[in-house]
Copies of this chain bind each other. A is one copy, B any other.
Amino acid sequence: MNCILVYDIPDDGKRAKIADTCLDYGMDRIQYSSFTGKLRATHQEELMLRIKKILGKRPGNIQLFAISADDWSKRKILKQTQENDG
């Protein structure tokens, strides 16, 4: 299922480790602290447990949304690359 993971983690080291973990799960970075990717239900649980373990007792807000194919196909994207007209 298509998922989006968004997190707010003050600790730089923890944040970097969590980003690496998302990449391990084959997710794509869409922003500094946000990833999208296809994850089956068991992997969603597993990823959240791994993140919880990395975070330990440190503060953080991590939110994982699994999104139906229909809603996913309707997402709105505005993507512009570097302006090259000066």
Instruction: Map CB proximity to B onto A60-86 as digits: 1 under 8 Å, 0 otherwise.
Output: 111111111001101111111111010
Number of copies: 2
Confirm or deny: A44 has a beta carbon within 8 angstroms of a beta carbon on chain B: yes
Contact size class for A? 35 or more
Residue of B nearest to A31 (CB): B8
Contacting residues, chain B, for A83 (C-beta < 8 A): 57-59
Residue of B nearest to A5 (CB): B76
A76/B44 in contact, CB under 8 A: yes
> Cα distance A33–B6 when bound, in Å?
10
Instruction: Map CB proximity to B onto A27-63 as digits: 1 under 8 Å, 0 otherwise.
Output: 0001111101000000011001001100101111111
